[in-house]
């Protein structure tokens, strides 16, 4: 399937600051791409260039095959954009604002009513329709920003931190909506919530200091973790050294990490070589050597950990 969004060697400099550095990726129809990276990595800047707000310093992007610099208005027509922080015209009511967006996006006639109604329903805006936007709570503002982005049923959605500031119900709801819309659109969402990548994304691109450090599926991302497929074995404190020594000697194990005992038992994290599946091997070894095991399970890899592994470079940690 053709790629609806193609970003090609895109760079954006602000004076001496290189915000985006030679970034390339593409997103096909039916794909939700998660865009990750630490603060200041260049996510919002990349989105601003794709949506035609900022001109690139070099490189380019195409949306539905159209170059963002050569046909900016056409590109903008096919994109729904939720900018960072969801800026909105505070002096308007929600309804007046959505009508303004529908007009300027050339959604007219019966379809205008239908699309406005659809956005209102999907974002649960019924009870705030005639309230001025500046008087809305943060989460509702975000929802109005989202409603605005999907109003014209665009082929491409670019959402900068869409679930930021939403309550857990709304987060869940918005993720479901993104999943649903993602079936026949190309969507990019930026987020700091890594479970969101597992929950909604088909692809993940991580950038750090303007450069792409990883581009793959969420499971490939998991596999990047050093602790991928690790097995946790809890044993009594007194047999822990013996068990650790035994497990370290197994052929497909690189390391065994132990931590402080909890209620007299020590969790040993058995890290495999090259992310191999080692649960069998570990199970057999402890049984054959008569080591009493309190608990054994495969370690769940948190994406946060992978994220840190990939992006904590030379940057100084916060104090």
Ligand X SMILES: Nc1ncnc2c1ncn2[C@@H]1O[C@H](COP(=O)(O)OP(=O)(O)OP(=O)(O)O)[C@@H](O)[C@H]1O
Q: Which residues are at the interface with ligand X (CB under 6 A)?
A: 14, 17, 19, 37, 39-45, 84
Q: Residues 8-47: x/- map of binding to other proteins (CB under 8 A)?
A: ------x---------------------------------
Q: Is 198 helix (H, G, I), strand (E, B) or coil?
A: helix
Q: Which two tokens stand for residue 11?
A: 């760079």
Measured from the CB of residue 4, what is the shortest distance to other proteins in angstroms? 17
Residue closer to ligand X by CB (options 68, 240) is 68
Measured from the CB of residue 183, what is the shortest distance to Mg ion in angstroms? 26
Q: Which stretch binds other proteins (CB under 8 A): 74-82, 216-224, 228-236, 255-263?
A: 74-82
Measured from the CB of residue 7, what is the shortest distance to other proteins in angstroms? 16
Q: Which two tokens stand for residue 142?
A: 């975000």
Measured from the CB of residue 18, what is the shortest distance to ligand X in angstroms? 8
Nearest to 303 by CA among 168, 191, 151, 154: 191
β-bridge pairing 31-36 and 79-82? unpaired
Q: Is 51 in the site for other proteins (CB under 8 A)?
A: yes
- The Cα–Cα gap between 47 and 58 comes to 15
Instruction: Give Dmax (Cα) for the chain.
Output: 77
Query: Residue 186 in contact with residue 163, Cβ under 8 Å?
Result: no
- The Cα–Cα gap between 232 and 75 comes to 51
Residue 106 site contact among Mg ion, ligand X, other proteins, none (CB < 5 to 8 Å, cut-off depends on kind): other proteins
Q: Residues 26, 44, 119, 265: which binds Mg ion (CB under 5 A)?
A: 44
Residues in the interface with other proteins (CB under 8 A) total: 31
Q: Is 306 helix (H, G, I), strand (E, B) or coil?
A: helix
What is the enclosing helix (H) or strand (E) of 230?
Answer: none
- The Cα–Cα gap between 227 and 231 comes to 9
Q: Is 265 in the site for Mg ion (CB under 5 A)?
A: no
Q: What are phi and psi of 149, to 5 degrees?
A: -70, -30
Note the residues at the interface with Mg ion (CB under 5 A).
43-44, 84
Binding footprint of other proteins on the chain (CB under 8 A): 14, 48, 51-55, 72-74, 76-77, 79, 81, 83, 85, 87-92, 96, 100-101, 103-106, 132, 148
């Amino acid at each position: 399937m053709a790629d609806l969004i193609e970003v090609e060697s895109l760079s954006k400099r602000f004076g001496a600051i290189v915000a985006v550095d030679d970034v390339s990726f593409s997103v096909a129809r039916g794909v939700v791409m998660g865009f990750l990276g630490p603060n200041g990595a260049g996510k919002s800047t990349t989105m601003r260039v794709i949506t035609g707000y900022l001109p690139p310093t070099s490189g380019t992007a195409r949306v539905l095959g159209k170059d963002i610099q050569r046909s900016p208005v056409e590109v903008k027509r096919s994109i729904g954009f939720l900018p960072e922080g969801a800026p909105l015209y505070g002096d308007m009511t929600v309804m007046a604002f959505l009508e303004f967006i529908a007009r300027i996006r050339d959604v007219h006639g019966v379809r205008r009513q239908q699309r406005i109604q659809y956005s209102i329903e999907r974002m649960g805006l019924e009870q705030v329709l005639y309230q001025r936007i500046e008087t809305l709570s943060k989460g509702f503002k975000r929802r109005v920003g989202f409603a605005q982005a999907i109003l014209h049923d665009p082929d491409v959605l670019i959402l900068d931190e869409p679930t930021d500031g939403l309550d857990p119900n709304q987060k869940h709801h918005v993720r479901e909506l993104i999943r649903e819309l993602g079936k026949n659109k190309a969507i990019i969402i930026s987020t700091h919530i890594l479970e969101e990548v597992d929950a909604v994304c088909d692809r993940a691109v991580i950038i750090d200091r303007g450069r792409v450090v990883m581009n793959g599926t969420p499971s490939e991302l998991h596999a990047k973790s050093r602790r991928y497929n690790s097995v946790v074995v809890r044993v009594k404190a007194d047999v822990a050294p013996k068990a650790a020594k035994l497990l370290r000697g197994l052929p497909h194990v690189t390391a065994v990490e132990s931590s402080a005992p909890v209620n007299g038992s020590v969790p040993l994290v058995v890290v495999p070589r090259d992310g191999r599946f080692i649960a069998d091997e570990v199970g057999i070894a402890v049984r054959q050597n008569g080591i009493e095991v309190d608990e054994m399970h495969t370690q769940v890899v948190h994406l946060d950990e992978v994220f840190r592994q990939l992006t904590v470079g030379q940057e100084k940690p916060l104090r």
